[in-house]
Amino acid sequence: MSLVHLHQLIKSFRGQLVLDQFDLEVESGSYLVLLGPSGCGKTTTLRMIAGLERPDSGQVNINGENVTSVPPRKRDVSMVFQNDGLYPHLTVEQTLRLALRGRCKASEVDSRFSEAVDLTGVSKLLDRLPGQMSGGELRRAAIATAIAKKTVIRLFDEPMSALDVGLREQMQRDLVRWHHEVPGATIHVTHDGNEAMRSADRIAVMGGGRILQVGDPATVYDQPQEIAVAKAIGTPAMNWLAADTVDGWIRLNNPTLAMSGTVRVDADASCDGVILGVRPGGFLLTRKEEREQPNAIPGLHLSTKLLDCRIVQETVEIIVQFADTEWTAVFNRKDCGQLPTPGELIFLCVPADALHVFSASTQRRLDISLVG
């Protein structure tokens, strides 16, 4: 039985449908990240679980019990809001101690208090009021409050948004570690795909008022089932190209695109257009007309002029103009040898297993059966 089960939720605000027969199950022990673009309904979903918002229809179940009409204080749920949610007249210490009141034995209060303070690094902020703290400090104080409560369900709405890079990375690791020490589930909302991959054991991608795909981070990244999922995760973003199919074959022997290759797609005959996607890390830099070679790697081969080339940490990012868009390819610096220069003609290959193919009409993933 799932710890949280949202069943067929429908929610509209002022006639605008936000959740449309929304289903989600979260198991106990899971650190689930809800990922999606701004305005897709992530916060609304958390507020339904916390009991701060009622669905127009559908059920919120916690531990097998229908809690749709149960008030927030009777649910074993804590929530860190996007805008901190601290009391303006209480110091951080007073807020933390208030959060613990009635939640644990008197003998446990000090250890829980210290644990939350240490984990979030708020020891120097204990005597501050919310009006005396920066955005990042407020965020840490709010996370400390949720941690101190040790509820079975923890909801974090954009918990890293106001933190600087170093603190964000530390907090991500700490939250995951803390999550594993406290029984229950954590649901963390973000629109940052990297943050999702670093924190989650499961990612649920939202769009159009529903869950588009849920799975472990590697599967969601490697096998996105819809274009919107592929766009939600991955930096730099996936590269795209529209192509036609004829009897299930995509033939890309277009001299103006300087691209060649033939791909067989398992799609019904009605699928007459496809969208090809290539992750920036999916290219091979061949440096010669590999497609002319007798043992050319099966896949797509393209030649194009380099627009830009940048070293980014351990990688080299190259930008090429392709069709009417710019594509980004990323290589390991060690594999690159001498860097190409802007204006130079370069040859790239996309091996078959790095090619993502989606139907232009349904936006859903299509299987490739053969590449030649």
Letters for 272-311 (x = contact with ligand ATP by CB under 6 A, - = none) are ----------------------------------------
Closest to ligand ATP by CB, 10 vs 90, is 10
Q: Which residues pair with 66 in a beta bridge?
A: 61
Pick the stretch among 36-44, 72-80, 292-300, 337-345 that binds ligand ATP (CB under 6 A): 36-44
Query: What's the closest the beta carbon of residue 44 comes to ligand ATP, in angstroms?
Result: 3
Q: Are 46 and 187 in contact (CB under 8 A)?
A: yes
**Of residues 26, 31, 42, 302, which one binds ligand ATP by CB under 6 A?**
42
**Of residues 4, 9, 18, 32, which one binds ligand ATP by CB under 6 A?**
18
Number of CB atoms found within 10 A of residue 203's CB: 28
Query: What's the closest the beta carbon of residue 26 comes to ligand ATP, in angstroms?
Result: 17
Q: Is residue 80 a contact point for ligand ATP (CB under 6 A)? A: no
Q: Is residue 87 a contact point for ligand ATP (CB under 6 A)? A: no
Q: Is residue 77 a contact point for ligand ATP (CB under 6 A)? A: no
Q: How far apart are CA 130 and CA 367, in angstroms?
A: 53
Q: How far apart are CA 313 and CA 132, in angstroms?
A: 37
Tell me the two tokens of residue 312: 């980014």
Query: What's the closest the beta carbon of residue 206 comes to ligand ATP, in angstroms?
Result: 7
Q: Are 24 and 6 in contact (CB under 8 A)?
A: yes
Q: Is residue 228 a contact point for ligand ATP (CB under 6 A)? A: no
Residues in binding contact with ligand ATP, number by CB under 6 A? 13
- Within positions 170 to 199, which residues make up the interface with ligand ATP, using CB under 6 A? 191
Q: Is residue 209 a contact point for ligand ATP (CB under 6 A)? A: no
Q: What own/partner pairs with CB < 8 Å and gap ≥ 24 does 39-45 have?
A: 40/206, 40/207, 40/208, 40/209, 41/11, 41/206, 41/209, 42/157, 42/189, 42/191, 42/206, 43/82, 43/157, 43/189, 44/11, 44/18, 44/19, 45/6, 45/9, 45/19, 45/189, 45/206
Q: Which residues contact 187 (CB under 8 A, 6 or more apart)?
A: 4, 26, 32, 33, 34, 46, 49, 153, 154, 155, 156
**Of residues 38, 69, 107, 341, which one binds ligand ATP by CB under 6 A?**
38
Q: Is residue 81 a contact point for ligand ATP (CB under 6 A)? A: no
Chain center to CA of 280: 17
Pick the stretch among 39-47, 123-131, 328-336, 338-346 that binds ligand ATP (CB under 6 A): 39-47
Please give the residue ranges that form the binding site for ligand ATP (CB under 6 A): 13-14, 18, 36, 38-44, 82, 191
